Amino acid sequence: MDSTLILVKTDKGIDEVKHRSFGLPQTLRALLIMADGSISMAGLLTRTAQIPKVEESIEWLVREGFIESVSPSGRRTAPSASPAVVSGGANGQALAPKQALIAISRELLGADAPKVLQRLTEAGESLSELNAAVERCHKFIKLTIDEKKAEQFLKACQSLLAEAR
């Protein structure tokens, strides 16, 4: 799996974290919790170097639909032995930067995401419009939700948009 990929929880992963619906073992659950939309595969591997077979565990979480990987360019990817395969929406289309920003926002903000999601949804598709929307959302998150989450949001979104250029 590409070490630059950003890891985010899917709806299934969020359900597991909130309700322990699938009864994952503690090691897998810890990895799932760390996949917060602001950490890359390399960052997660660095933080969990003491855990045996951690890369295989992450790949299992992806295969089973608990997490997904979003490339810094905003494309959802699936792990494979060859270069990453783009697996965007239902038609197999690549995930647009705007949609990747929305996925990161959902993951990072959880129940606090609706107003941020609305701002991102209403933004245009150009990178300059998305950058402006990210800045507005960053300010909103910082003032109304949490400063640390605001900084995580800004860092993850700016990285994604920089790669989309």
Note the pLDDT tens digit of each residue in 124-134. 989 999 999 99
Report residue 83: phi and psi, to 5°.
-55, 155
Final residue in a domain of this structure, among 24, 57, 86: 86
Distance CA 79, CA 157 (A): 22
Q: Which amino acid is at 18?
A: K
* Number of structural domains the chain divides into: 2
As beta bridge partners, residue 68 has: 8
Which residue numbers in the chain have pLDDT < 70?
1, 71-95
Residues 47 and 114 in one domain: no
Number of CB atoms found within 10 A of residue 105's CB: 26
Residues 56 and 109 both lie in one domain? no
In a domain, 156, yes or no: yes
- The answer to whether residue 37 is domain-embedded is yes
What's the pLDDT at 135? Answer: 96
Residues 65 and 132 both lie in one domain: no
1 lies in a domain? no
Q: What does each C-alpha distance from 41 to 25, 37, 80, 128 come to in angstroms? A: 20, 11, 14, 27
Residue 52 lies in a domain: yes
pLDDT at 75: 53
Do 150 and 114 lie in a common domain?
Answer: yes
Q: What is the pLDDT of residue 56?
A: 87
Q: What is the H or E stretch that residue 153 is in?
A: helix 147-164
Q: Which domain holds residue 138?
A: 97-164
Q: What is the DSSP letter of 111?
A: G
Kindly state whether residues 78 and 101 are assigned to the same domain.
Answer: no
Q: Are residues 73 and 24 in the same domain?
A: yes
Q: What's the pTM value of the predicted model, to 2 decimals?
A: 0.49
Handedness of CA 91, 96, 100, 102 (dihedral sign): negative
- Whether 49 and 82 map to the same domain: the answer is yes
Domain presence at residue 134: yes
